[in-house]
Structure 1
Amino acid sequence: MKIFSLVTALAAAALAAPNSALVARDARDSLELPGIDDKKLIGTILNAHWYWRRIHCAQDLQWNATLAAKAQEDIRKCSRDVEHLRGGSNLSGQGPSPKKYNDWVEMARAMVHGWHEEETFYDYSTRSSRNSNQVFHFTQLVWRDSSQLGCAVTDCSDVQGARYPGRIYCYYEPVGNNVAGNFMAENVWPPICADPSKAELETRFGF
């Protein structure tokens, strides 16, 4: 029930390469594409993580500028598909890319919340995926040991062959998704912790 109530509330409030290509994207940074030091983008991404991590009993994340810079470096390579280049990462893409600043921020918000939808396929009893569905975005999102986060968005529309050109890369430390031993059980808890208070939601989301 928590998923639907949050998504409904957020929807009401919303009104988660080649050098030449890098130069083109750098030029757009000052226009509509939010950079890794953009306070609204950072706050939106942290708040989206905060809600899900709260109900899954995970610690709050702190923004890490070094991780954000690394995410920006990697996302601007504009591979044909979104591509995991390191452990402890969550990635998503869409097409076409957003055109306006607020649309980029909304894309980031929607994608972070979208990672939690994989919980549907996660079996807490076996600590694994049901029917081989993707769950590692969800498990990294709520990984209890992770404490640092850095993310970047970019537009790969000017790179021939790039699919889903509107992209977000998020990097976490300590990295999650360690399937060895009992790490999954220790770090991926069901949503058994209390919902945020009304005051907390008002502070974070304005409602």
Structure 2
Amino acid sequence: MRGDTCGKARRPDNGKIATRQSGTILQHETAPMPTRYLPHCLAVLLLSACASASAQQTPHAKAPGSRLATAEVQTLLHEHNRARAAVGVAPLQWSAPVAKTAQRWADHLATSSCRMQHSRGSGYGENLFIGTAGHYGVKDAALAWEQEKRLYRGGVLKVGKTQGIGHYTQMVWRDTRRLGCARSQCSNRVIVVCNYEPAGNYLGKAPY
């Protein structure tokens, strides 16, 4: 069973990094797009049948803008703002309009064979995650993105130097103020989409 995550930054670049950690294989791939965005894709191959301890349960209360439960929204805000506080940037606020856009794209991906593909033209920053349903939840998505911190060496983003860090740098981008996320499902996989306003990951600028 496999899961995937993606995030987008601002200029085309190619590359792949593969690492092995605690029984999982992580592959980080970047590929060019004909726009100013650079999609970052992280594939996670689950090698055991153990469910993730942080997989999210879904209470009945729903958050504005998406089908996420309010508890899931709180989890996503907590994980993002914890990462942001660690580098001294202001917390994000939930945005129903941003979440609505994220939900629309999550639903599109769910009806497109769960292909990892970024939206175009929304103007938002975007992180994507796909994982095995029942094994991964929204907290796993946020933690997977934050783990890229270990590869970020500080300073401005440069051409050819964004591999493996784009999800994290968007999470902590200083000028980003609003977060909207969504979840959908296709077959046995769950999709998490988070959008960020204003978008970050501009080449030539530092995240914070």
Task: Give the TM-score of the pair, scaled to structure 1.
Answer: 0.61
1:83 counterpart residue number: 117
Alpha-carbon distance, 1:14 to partner: 5.7
Gaps of 5+ in 1: 1-12, 17-28, 159-164, 190-207
1:36 paired with 2:70, answer no
Please point out which of 130, 140, 143 is paired with 1:93.
130
1:145 paired with 2:179, answer no
Alpha-carbon distance, 1:129 to partner: 8.3
Q: 1:32 to 1:62 in 2, by over 3 A?
A: closer
User: How many angstroms apart in 2 are the aligned matches of 1:15 and 1:110?
Assistant: 7
Q: 1:155 to 1:15 in 2, by over 3 A?
A: closer
User: How many angstroms apart in 1 are the aligned matches of 2:81 and 2:180?
Assistant: 14
Which amino acid counterpart does residue 76 of structure 1 have in structure 2? D
User: How many angstroms apart in 2 are the aligned matches of 1:44 and 1:30?
Assistant: 13
Q: Runs of 4+ in structure 1 displaced over 4 angstroms? A: 13-16, 29-35, 128-132
Q: Per-residue CA shift, 1:15-54, capped at 9, x if unaligned? A: 98xxxxxxxxxxxx99899853621111111001010000
1:168 paired with 2:201, answer no
Which amino acid counterpart does residue 119 of structure 2 have in structure 1? L
Look up the SS of the partner of 1:77 in the other structure: helix
User: How many angstroms apart in 2 are the aligned matches of 1:64 and 1:129?
Assistant: 31
User: How many angstroms apart in 1 are the aligned matches of 2:59 and 2:137?
Assistant: 18
Look up the SS of the partner of 1:127 in the other structure: coil
Bigger relative CO (Cα 8 Å, ≥ 6 apart): 1
User: How many angstroms apart in 1 are the aligned matches of 2:87 and 2:128?
Assistant: 21
Please point out which of 43, 52, 56 is paired with 2:87.
56
Which amino acid counterpart does residue 174 of structure 1 have in structure 2? P
Number of residue pairs matched? Answer: 147
Between the aligned residues of both structures, percent identity stands at 29
Please point out which of 102, 105, 109 is paired with 1:74.
105
Structure with higher helix content: 1
Q: 1:68 to 1:48 in 2, by over 3 A?
A: same
User: How many angstroms apart in 2 are the aligned matches of 1:174 and 1:60?
Assistant: 13
Alpha-carbon distance, 1:127 to partner: 3.4
Task: Give the TM-score of the pair, scaled to structure 2.
Answer: 0.61
2:186 counterpart residue number: 156
Q: 1:132 to 1:43 in 2, by over 3 A?
A: closer
Q: 1:126 to 1:176 in 2, by over 3 A?
A: closer
How much is the aligned-residue C-alpha RMSD, in angstroms? 3.2
Q: 1:82 to 1:156 in 2, by over 3 A?
A: same
Alpha-carbon distance, 1:77 to partner: 0.8
